[in-house]
Amino acid sequence: EPEVTQTPSHQVTQMGQEVILRCVPISNHLYFYWYRQILGQKVEFLVSFYNNEISEKSEIFDDQFSVERPDGSNFTLKIRSTKLEDSAMYFCASSEASSRTYEQYFGPGTRLTVT
Instruction: Provide, rounded to whole angstroms, the least separation between the CB of residue 73 and another protein.
Output: 18
Under the binding rule (CB under 8 A), the answer on residue 58 touching another protein is: yes
Question: Which stretches of 1-115 are DSSP H helices?
Answer: none
14/59 with CB nearer another protein: 59
Under the binding rule (CB under 8 A), the answer on residue 28 touching another protein is: no
Name the DSSP letter for residue 111: E
48/87 with CB nearer another protein: 48
Name, in order, each residue with C-beta under 8 angstroms of 4's C-beta and a sequence gap of 6 or more: 23, 24, 25, 26, 92, 93, 94, 105, 106, 107
Closest CA to 69 of 51, 92, 87, 88: 51
Q: Which residues bind another protein (CB under 8 A)?
A: 4, 6, 31, 33, 35, 41-45, 48-50, 55-56, 58, 91, 93, 95-97, 99-109
